[in-house]
Structure 1
């Protein structure tokens, strides 16, 4: 970490949620970034400058102030106070159907349609489309997303999605998840990735991290594993920048952080969604610091870019750094079971770099592990972890 880094302009950060990235906390302290805290949040170090409500509102309304948040729960407060231009930019990304329209000219033949909850069951797949993805237009954390293979699976998928969302809405604000509108889009087969970065003061795209997001099967939509390495970044950074430059130029983006998700199919990049005003949640960016030795939040606050040309030398000789999310199994009941964190951590042996616990009453997971392995195959074995095996009876 560069101890001499200087923040550029008026930065501030919104923090909420039970899992706070150590990488983010170090950057906040190094750069002396003011923080607005929203519950539920773990205790923060006393050295951090905590903003009061009026101060936070004043900063949001300042067109020259630069915001980043660590968790979607902060978004509703931000949206209530953003200047109109920045609000329009956020809304262009936050609504998945609006975002699909934004990039349509890049992919004119890709099918998509927006539906309301009331007319979901009336939808019929076009003859030329075999598989679609159903998702809430406004959502987070892969909640309510299903891949549907053919019309015969549609009704069951809709029922499953609605149940997921109805349960999740009980502890999420409407800015995070909403069931009034849904996006149905053609499924693009290929490897899935996520990318953190920002548009800098000159409107140029800065990539701070790229992660591959593997799945256990074609039906899996979980966030269980993400990993990064020199190879992952080297093979994806150029097409990623090209698409993000197009988006940034179209909307006139400046000093704006994002978490971008996409698929690569036959060397072509297809955007899935772009989450505004944040990097990856639940300390995902920490694996970039482990892998490449720089703090991505430091670079955002200072409006600087990584030296990828130097960092990506000797691509073939690279360890793999991963994020493993301990999801809550269906049988879990807080009054009946506890999660054995020690056993979960022991499962990784000397691969474990760090473990951050969460609160399963607030989030759909118990915690997250950061690990390092020698090869990708070592990471993929964790896709099939039985999280129920780490539950222990309270009786």
Structure 2
């Protein structure tokens, strides 16, 4: 079953929803994305969900979380979503596994009362319920806190109303220690018994320590070989504590130099946001949505052998948060794509509400990773013409 909603329904997800023939909820976004496909109204969709012995529901957008809360209240899903989506509750559920880890909740109107020295080092402030790195601030030094708090208030004002409160809550923030180490984003699902299957591990490099952007995600055999079993262990423990069954999930982790694994956040009912999940098709040759809906498990040994020596990446062409996209009159997509030796697919984002102008899938040999390193530091405004 599918609930498709804003901000973006990827071409691969549209194909999967059409090909599988599973019920798709009738809403304005689905009608635009799937013309000619028979959609299912609210009551009928909920009835079909409850009539199935082992229903599986995928949504590309956290905009659907409110619908699930209101229409599937008799199922396990609302409680599973709440404990994962709220970053404060998520931290509380796992606190005993990492008792030294420092975090606290603070309301927007109490930001000035925060003691930035209480963390004993760098910390990060983010919406307690958030999406797409919106409103995230890293505070390297206590003296930086007043400016960071000002930026949080500005972000709350700018992005309020862009997403439902169930997706982006800009009145509550979580402040937590900076988690050191290499960052990874894991797409996975829990089966009917609660066992986890990983459908992708995305490496998320940054330009520098204070970078919180989503500029580049990479998939390659070395990452799967290094992390798969470790993440299965951690995801099974998370699933046990949160009672997760029959749900897809997108979880961000960091692995420190000493091997310590810490979760950053978990996003239920979907894989990578916007079209990040589609990198599984470009990198490994299978559809992650079909894998979840049909309970298929990737043969990672075979896939890693087949893709040896190659890296597939998603490049997110983001723009500075303070750039007014309504002033953009033209974008040189050809020049942007030409930066890479093997571009696979360019997807334009022309909605001025979002600080992104494109998603680009590329493929490079492992000895060409400098192309991906360079884009981390690039000023992409050079491809944009303003009025």
TM-score (norm 2): 0.92
Partner Cα distance (1:207, 1:387) in 2? 33
What's 1:73 paired with? 63
Partner Cα distance (2:354, 2:116) in 1? 33
Tell me, yes or no, if structure 1 residue 152 matches structure 2 residue 137. Answer: no
- Decide which structure has greater helix share: 2
How far does residue 245 in structure 1 lie from its aligned partner after superposition?
Answer: 0.5
What's 2:103 paired with? 112
- Over 3 Å counting, the alpha-carbon distance change for 1:303 and 1:389 in structure 2 is same
How far does residue 359 in structure 1 lie from its aligned partner after superposition?
Answer: 3.1
How far does residue 147 in structure 1 lie from its aligned partner after superposition?
Answer: 1.2
What's 1:26 paired with? 15
What's 1:13 paired with? 2
- Over 3 Å counting, the alpha-carbon distance change for 1:20 and 1:105 in structure 2 is same
How far does residue 260 in structure 1 lie from its aligned partner after superposition?
Answer: 0.4
What's 2:187 paired with? 196
For structure 1, the residue ranges without an aligned partner over 5 or more in a row are: 1-11
* Contact residue 4 and residue 29 of structure 2 kept, 8 A: no
How far does residue 18 in structure 1 lie from its aligned partner after superposition?
Answer: 4.8
Secondary structure at 2:274 match in 1: coil
How far does residue 38 in structure 1 lie from its aligned partner after superposition?
Answer: 4.1
- Deviations along 1:319-339, one digit per CA (max 9) or x if unpaired, are 111111111343344245333
What's 1:366 paired with? 357
How far does residue 14 in structure 1 lie from its aligned partner after superposition?
Answer: 1.2
What's 1:337 paired with? 329
- Deviations along 1:199-220, one digit per CA (max 9) or x if unpaired, are 0112101000010111111121
Moved more, 58-67 or 221-230: 58-67
Match among 252, 259, 263 for residue 261 of structure 1: 252
* Contact residue 231 and residue 318 of structure 1 kept, 8 A: no
What's 2:160 paired with? 169
Tell me, yes or no, if structure 1 residue 299 matches structure 2 residue 288. Answer: no
* Contact residue 147 and residue 219 of structure 1 kept, 8 A: yes
User: What is the RMSD computed on CA atoms of the aligned residues?
Assistant: 2.1
Moved more, 264-273 or 17-26: 17-26
* Contact residue 102 and residue 119 of structure 2 kept, 8 A: no
- Deviations along 1:177-233, one digit per CA (max 9) or x if unpaired, are 112211111112111110101101121010000101111111211111111101111
Partner Cα distance (2:7, 2:163) in 1? 14
* Contact residue 328 and residue 384 of structure 2 kept, 8 A: no
State how many pairs are aligned. 381
Tell me, yes or no, if structure 1 residue 51 matches structure 2 residue 43. Answer: no
- Over 3 Å counting, the alpha-carbon distance change for 1:226 and 1:37 in structure 2 is farther
Partner Cα distance (2:294, 2:30) in 1? 26
